Amino acid sequence: MLRRRHSASTAVATVAVLALPLFTGAGTAHAAESRTGKHHPTKGQVKALFDRWNAALATGNANRVADLYAPDAVLLPTVSSEIRTTRAARVDYFKHFLESKPVGRIQERHIKILGRNDAVDSGLYEFTLTNKDGSKSKVDARYTFVYERCRGKWFIVNHHSSAVPTG
């Protein structure tokens, strides 16, 4: 840490150094164990993480979908106003969401590799849903997945999804 006489620039530098772990992901409960990756992931590998999540949706098993999230992950879901911060809450959300047999398709994506063990995938996706009468409907939504590798396995640590506003 920088040590100088008190000044405004020193205070700012000290705050920035102290806050850095919060912005790099080191503040999460499993981050101390996550630094096992030897190479940065490719954009193709990050794309595959969405495909893995979408395949888990196709199983209809809420627990299988929840397994892809870190224990302390945050889910801001598309069709619920409740923020899901526990496994039980995420399972509950997906039990209801999976009743409509959702199939996601990326329409536009922007991937940012943050480091060897962290990546962000955000953009637009479309869900095809099956209604109770068997008819299909489509929902366009914005998404952000934040991924972190822990002990060699990728987890979703933050997932935000919201319907695209009209107009």
CATH number at residue 143: 3.10.450.50
Q: Which domain holds residue 124?
A: 32-163
**Residue 3 located in a structural domain:** no
In a domain, 44, yes or no: yes
The predicted model scores a pTM of 0.78
Total structural domains in the chain?
Answer: 1
Task: Count other Cβ atoms within 10 Å, centred on residue 114.
Answer: 16
Residue 12 lies in a domain: no
Please report whether residue 154 resides in a domain.
Answer: yes
The answer to whether residue 20 sits within a structural domain is: no
Residue 14, in any domain of the structure? no
Does residue 119 sit within a domain? Answer: yes
pLDDT per residue over 45-75, tens digit each?
A: 999 999 999 999 999 999 999 999 999 999 9
Domain-located, residue 72: yes
Question: In terms of pLDDT, which residue wins out, 145 or 4?
Answer: 145
Torsional class of 74: left (φ above 0), alpha (ψ -120 to 50), beta (otherwise): beta
